[in-house]
Amino acid sequence: MEQLIKEFIAWNKENAAFYSELKEHDSCLYHRFKPVYEVLGHLESEITAGTLAASDDLDRIFAVGMEYLNEQFQTVRLYLENNFQGDLHALLHYDLIINALLYVEDLRYELIEQKINADEAALGKLVEELETLLETKNTIPKNIKIYVDDVVFRAIGDKKFTFNGIIDIFASIADTLGLDLDEEEEVLLGKDI
């Protein structure tokens, strides 16, 4: 566990500014990463402070979370460099598309894990369409979320499938740890009385 914590601290040092930028711009990517990032940060703090004892379960949570966050951040950074020449503000105009691509990637993984035969051609075509939007920088259709959901629904068909991705699992872990992921900053208007 000690090695995982060191890796997270080093990873966080390298990625905290990027994560903060996503947060500052209220990017959907920030909201995507938040459950995993906040759980890992909380566990790192608690274990380092000695208020939480390391265990096999925490070791597994940490390992899965680190691998997931690292892969997702690397993917976003590749899009940032390859499609937007490092211009974060340009990427943020297309964060919804990148989020959809990451969602489809997560979904495909879960379908394989649960041995569900979905229409892989339809999912592959969806990924191509989303990547084309990024490459051409075309206007994002207003109904893109509905379109993605519709393609996914049709690709899965009438098969019984419950999608509990890493983000959902970490949101549940955050809830168990008492972390409030929906916490909004309080804004004071007028005088504090």
Higher pLDDT, 86 or 193: 86
> Residues 143-185: pLDDT tens digits?
999 999 999 999 998 878 778 889 999 999 999 998 988 865 5
Give the confidence band of 108 by pLDDT, cuts at 50, 70, 90. Answer: very high
Cα 64-65-67 angle, rounded to 5 deg: 65
Neighbours of 59 (CB within 10 A): 13
Give the start-to-end residue ranges of the domains of the chain.
Answer: 2-177
Per-residue confidence (pLDDT) for residue 189, from 0 to 100:
56
> Residues 45-82: pLDDT tens digits?
999 898 988 889 999 999 999 999 999 999 999 999 99
Report the C-alpha gap between 104 and 143 in whole angstroms. Answer: 17
Q: Does residue 192 register a pLDDT over 60?
A: no
- Please report, for residues 124, 128, 155, 162, the alpha-carbon distance to residue 121 in angstroms, rounded to integers and kept in the order given: 5, 10, 8, 21
Per-residue confidence (pLDDT) for residue 181, from 0 to 100:
83
Per-residue confidence (pLDDT) for residue 155, from 0 to 100:
93
Higher pLDDT, 185 or 88: 88
Phi, psi of 18 (to 5 degrees): -65, -45
Q: Does residue 88 register a pLDDT over 90?
A: yes
> Residues 27-36: pLDDT tens digits?
999 999 999 9
DSSP secondary structure, 142-182, as one string: TTHHHHHHHHHHHHHTT-------HHHHHHHHHHHHT--TT
- Averaged pLDDT, 120-127: 96
Tell me the average pLDDT of the chain: 91
pTM for the model stands at 0.88
- Averaged pLDDT, 107-120: 91
Per-residue confidence (pLDDT) for residue 54, from 0 to 100:
82
Strand, helix or coil at 129?
Answer: helix
Give the confidence band of 13 by pLDDT, cuts at 50, 70, 90. Answer: very high
Report the C-alpha gap between 3 and 10 in whole angstroms. Answer: 11
**DSSP classification of residue 19:** H
Alpha helices (H) along the chain? 2-24, 28-49, 56-84, 88-92, 95-113, 120-136, 144-156, 166-177
Strand, helix or coil at 50?
Answer: coil
Maximum distance among all Cα pairs of the chain, rounded to whole angstroms: 61
